[in-house]
Amino acid sequence: MGVAFQTGSIALMAWYKAFFIVTCWSWGGKLRKTSMTTTAISKRIEKLPHGLEFISRGTEATGQERVSPTEMEAMVMALIIAGSDTTATLLTGSVYLLLKNSIILRMLTLMLRTQFHSSSEMTLLALQRQEYLNAVLKEILRLYPPAPGNLFRRTEKEGHVVMGEIIPPDTCLTMHLWAAHRSSLNFHAPDDMAPERWFKTRPAEFEGDYRATMKPFSMGPQGCPGRE
Protein backbone atom coordinates (compact mmCIF):
# COMPACT_ATOMS: atom_id res chain seq x y z
CA MET A 1 0.00 0.00 0.00
CA GLY A 2 2.78 2.46 0.88
CA VAL A 3 4.60 1.99 -2.41
CA ALA A 4 1.38 1.72 -4.41
CA PHE A 5 0.00 4.92 -2.91
CA GLN A 6 3.16 6.93 -3.52
CA THR A 7 3.77 5.62 -7.02
CA GLY A 8 0.29 4.81 -8.34
CA SER A 9 -1.97 6.81 -10.56
CA ILE A 10 -3.24 9.00 -7.71
CA ALA A 11 0.23 10.56 -7.50
CA LEU A 12 -0.32 11.94 -11.01
CA MET A 13 -2.89 14.34 -9.58
CA ALA A 14 -1.20 17.56 -8.54
CA TRP A 15 -3.66 18.20 -5.70
CA TYR A 16 -3.50 14.81 -3.96
CA LYS A 17 -1.03 15.80 -1.22
CA ALA A 18 -3.05 18.87 -0.20
CA PHE A 19 -6.20 16.76 -0.14
CA PHE A 20 -4.78 14.29 2.34
CA ILE A 21 -3.19 16.98 4.48
CA VAL A 22 -6.60 18.53 5.21
CA THR A 23 -8.43 15.21 5.65
CA CYS A 24 -7.48 11.88 7.15
CA TRP A 25 -3.72 12.39 7.00
CA SER A 26 -3.69 15.43 9.30
CA TRP A 27 -1.02 15.78 11.96
CA GLY A 28 -3.63 15.36 14.66
CA GLY A 29 -4.67 12.01 13.25
CA LYS A 30 -1.05 10.96 12.90
CA LEU A 31 -0.27 11.82 16.51
CA ARG A 32 -3.34 9.95 17.76
CA LYS A 33 -2.36 6.92 15.71
CA THR A 34 1.20 7.02 17.10
CA SER A 35 -0.12 7.23 20.67
CA MET A 36 -2.51 4.32 20.07
CA THR A 37 0.29 2.24 18.55
CA THR A 38 2.63 2.89 21.48
CA THR A 39 -0.05 1.86 23.98
CA ALA A 40 -1.02 -1.24 22.00
CA ILE A 41 2.59 -2.41 21.65
CA SER A 42 3.25 -1.99 25.38
CA LYS A 43 0.17 -4.04 26.27
CA ARG A 44 1.05 -6.66 23.66
CA ILE A 45 4.58 -7.14 25.00
CA GLU A 46 3.25 -7.57 28.55
CA LYS A 47 0.83 -10.32 27.49
CA LEU A 48 3.03 -12.15 24.98
CA PRO A 49 4.09 -15.76 25.54
CA HIS A 50 7.83 -15.34 25.24
CA GLY A 51 9.38 -16.28 21.91
CA LEU A 52 6.13 -17.01 20.08
CA GLU A 53 5.65 -13.82 18.07
CA PHE A 54 7.94 -11.58 16.05
CA ILE A 55 7.57 -8.76 18.61
CA SER A 56 8.93 -10.84 21.47
CA ARG A 57 11.57 -12.41 19.21
CA GLY A 58 12.85 -8.93 18.43
CA THR A 59 12.71 -7.46 21.93
CA GLU A 60 14.23 -10.53 23.61
CA ALA A 61 17.07 -11.01 21.13
CA THR A 62 20.66 -9.99 21.83
CA GLY A 63 23.30 -8.11 19.86
CA GLN A 64 22.45 -6.99 16.33
CA GLU A 65 19.18 -8.92 16.40
CA ARG A 66 17.75 -6.93 19.32
CA VAL A 67 15.07 -4.33 18.56
CA SER A 68 14.60 -1.41 20.95
CA PRO A 69 11.08 -0.30 22.01
CA THR A 70 11.41 2.83 19.84
CA GLU A 71 12.47 0.78 16.82
CA MET A 72 9.65 -1.70 17.44
CA GLU A 73 7.11 1.13 17.56
CA ALA A 74 8.38 2.53 14.24
CA MET A 75 8.36 -0.93 12.67
CA VAL A 76 4.79 -1.67 13.77
CA MET A 77 3.65 1.73 12.48
CA ALA A 78 5.20 0.92 9.10
CA LEU A 79 3.50 -2.48 9.08
CA ILE A 80 0.11 -0.96 9.88
CA ILE A 81 0.33 1.77 7.24
CA ALA A 82 2.27 0.14 4.42
CA GLY A 83 3.15 -3.43 5.25
CA SER A 84 -0.13 -5.21 5.91
CA ASP A 85 -1.63 -5.69 2.47
CA THR A 86 1.71 -5.79 0.65
CA THR A 87 3.06 -8.50 2.95
CA ALA A 88 -0.13 -10.51 2.57
CA THR A 89 0.08 -10.16 -1.22
CA LEU A 90 3.71 -11.30 -1.26
CA LEU A 91 2.89 -14.34 0.90
CA THR A 92 -0.03 -15.20 -1.37
CA GLY A 93 2.20 -14.95 -4.42
CA SER A 94 4.89 -17.04 -2.73
CA VAL A 95 2.50 -19.91 -1.97
CA TYR A 96 1.00 -19.74 -5.46
CA LEU A 97 4.32 -19.75 -7.32
CA LEU A 98 5.96 -22.40 -5.14
CA LEU A 99 2.99 -24.74 -5.57
CA LYS A 100 3.17 -24.20 -9.32
CA ASN A 101 6.91 -24.95 -9.32
CA SER A 102 7.26 -28.10 -7.23
CA ILE A 103 10.96 -28.63 -8.00
CA ILE A 104 11.84 -25.21 -6.59
CA LEU A 105 9.64 -25.90 -3.55
CA ARG A 106 11.42 -29.20 -2.87
CA MET A 107 14.87 -27.61 -3.24
CA LEU A 108 13.94 -24.75 -0.92
CA THR A 109 12.46 -27.13 1.67
CA LEU A 110 15.58 -29.32 1.56
CA MET A 111 17.85 -26.32 1.95
CA LEU A 112 15.99 -24.96 4.98
CA ARG A 113 15.73 -28.32 6.72
CA THR A 114 19.40 -29.05 6.09
CA GLN A 115 20.72 -25.66 7.19
CA PHE A 116 18.44 -25.19 10.22
CA HIS A 117 17.50 -27.75 12.85
CA SER A 118 15.03 -25.54 14.76
CA SER A 119 13.11 -22.32 14.22
CA SER A 120 15.30 -20.55 16.79
CA GLU A 121 18.25 -20.93 14.41
CA MET A 122 16.38 -19.03 11.69
CA THR A 123 17.57 -15.58 12.71
CA LEU A 124 17.41 -12.64 10.35
CA LEU A 125 21.17 -12.65 9.80
CA ALA A 126 21.26 -16.41 9.19
CA LEU A 127 18.45 -16.24 6.63
CA GLN A 128 20.11 -13.33 4.83
CA ARG A 129 23.11 -15.57 4.13
CA GLN A 130 21.04 -18.20 2.28
CA GLU A 131 21.63 -17.51 -1.41
CA TYR A 132 18.93 -19.85 -2.73
CA LEU A 133 16.27 -18.55 -0.34
CA ASN A 134 17.00 -14.95 -1.29
CA ALA A 135 17.05 -15.83 -4.99
CA VAL A 136 13.60 -17.43 -4.65
CA LEU A 137 12.24 -14.34 -2.88
CA LYS A 138 13.66 -12.01 -5.52
CA GLU A 139 12.13 -14.09 -8.29
CA ILE A 140 8.76 -14.04 -6.51
CA LEU A 141 9.00 -10.25 -6.20
CA ARG A 142 9.74 -10.06 -9.92
CA LEU A 143 6.82 -12.26 -10.97
CA TYR A 144 4.33 -11.23 -8.29
CA PRO A 145 5.16 -7.68 -7.12
CA PRO A 146 2.99 -6.70 -4.12
CA ALA A 147 2.48 -3.21 -5.56
CA PRO A 148 2.50 -3.78 -9.33
CA GLY A 149 1.57 -0.25 -10.37
CA ASN A 150 3.64 2.65 -11.66
CA LEU A 151 6.89 4.05 -10.35
CA PHE A 152 6.14 7.75 -10.36
CA ARG A 153 8.57 10.64 -10.75
CA ARG A 154 8.25 14.28 -11.82
CA THR A 155 10.94 16.23 -13.67
CA GLU A 156 12.45 19.27 -11.94
CA LYS A 157 12.17 22.88 -13.12
CA GLU A 158 15.10 22.54 -15.53
CA GLY A 159 13.65 19.42 -17.16
CA HIS A 160 15.55 16.20 -17.77
CA VAL A 161 16.95 13.90 -20.45
CA VAL A 162 15.57 10.34 -20.40
CA MET A 163 16.83 7.74 -22.87
CA GLY A 164 18.09 10.50 -25.13
CA GLU A 165 14.78 12.38 -25.12
CA ILE A 166 14.45 15.91 -23.69
CA ILE A 167 11.60 15.93 -21.17
CA PRO A 168 10.02 19.32 -20.30
CA PRO A 169 9.93 20.64 -16.71
CA ASP A 170 7.24 19.41 -14.29
CA THR A 171 6.40 16.38 -16.43
CA CYS A 172 5.07 13.17 -14.86
CA LEU A 173 7.07 10.05 -15.73
CA THR A 174 6.11 6.49 -14.83
CA MET A 175 7.36 2.96 -15.33
CA HIS A 176 4.92 0.10 -14.86
CA LEU A 177 6.50 -2.50 -12.59
CA TRP A 178 4.66 -5.59 -13.79
CA ALA A 179 5.37 -4.78 -17.44
CA ALA A 180 9.05 -4.07 -16.77
CA HIS A 181 9.49 -7.28 -14.77
CA ARG A 182 7.81 -9.40 -17.48
CA SER A 183 9.48 -7.82 -20.50
CA SER A 184 11.78 -9.98 -22.64
CA LEU A 185 13.85 -6.82 -23.16
CA ASN A 186 14.90 -7.06 -19.52
CA PHE A 187 14.78 -10.78 -18.66
CA HIS A 188 15.38 -14.07 -20.46
CA ALA A 189 12.28 -16.31 -20.31
CA PRO A 190 10.46 -13.59 -18.34
CA ASP A 191 7.38 -15.67 -17.52
CA ASP A 192 9.38 -18.58 -16.07
CA MET A 193 10.23 -18.84 -12.39
CA ALA A 194 14.02 -19.19 -12.37
CA PRO A 195 15.66 -18.27 -9.04
CA GLU A 196 19.09 -19.04 -10.52
CA ARG A 197 18.93 -15.79 -12.50
CA TRP A 198 19.70 -14.04 -9.18
CA PHE A 199 22.76 -16.12 -8.25
CA LYS A 200 26.11 -14.33 -8.05
CA THR A 201 27.35 -16.86 -10.59
CA ARG A 202 24.32 -17.30 -12.81
CA PRO A 203 23.78 -19.64 -15.78
CA ALA A 204 24.85 -18.33 -19.18
CA GLU A 205 21.28 -17.90 -20.45
CA PHE A 206 20.62 -15.33 -17.74
CA GLU A 207 23.80 -13.30 -18.21
CA GLY A 208 21.92 -10.81 -20.36
CA ASP A 209 19.24 -10.14 -17.76
CA TYR A 210 19.00 -6.49 -16.79
CA ARG A 211 18.47 -7.16 -13.10
CA ALA A 212 18.56 -3.48 -12.13
CA THR A 213 15.12 -3.16 -13.76
CA MET A 214 13.48 -4.91 -10.81
CA LYS A 215 12.33 -2.24 -8.34
CA PRO A 216 9.47 -3.77 -6.30
CA PHE A 217 10.21 -1.40 -3.42
CA SER A 218 10.57 1.68 -5.61
CA MET A 219 13.85 3.59 -5.16
CA GLY A 220 15.34 6.81 -3.87
CA PRO A 221 13.71 8.94 -1.13
CA GLN A 222 10.30 7.41 -1.87
CA GLY A 223 11.59 3.86 -1.53
CA CYS A 224 9.61 1.52 0.71
CA PRO A 225 11.29 0.80 4.10
CA GLY A 226 10.04 -2.78 3.78
CA ARG A 227 13.09 -3.52 1.65
CA GLU A 228 15.25 -3.54 4.76
**Positions at the binding site:** 224
Q: State the pairing for strand pair 172-176/150-154.
A: antiparallel
**Which residues define the annotated binding site for heme?**
224
Nearest to 5 by CA among 109, 68, 85: 85
Note the residue count of the chain. Answer: 228
List beta partners, residue 152: 174
Residue pair 113/106 in contact (Cβ under 8 Å)? The answer is no
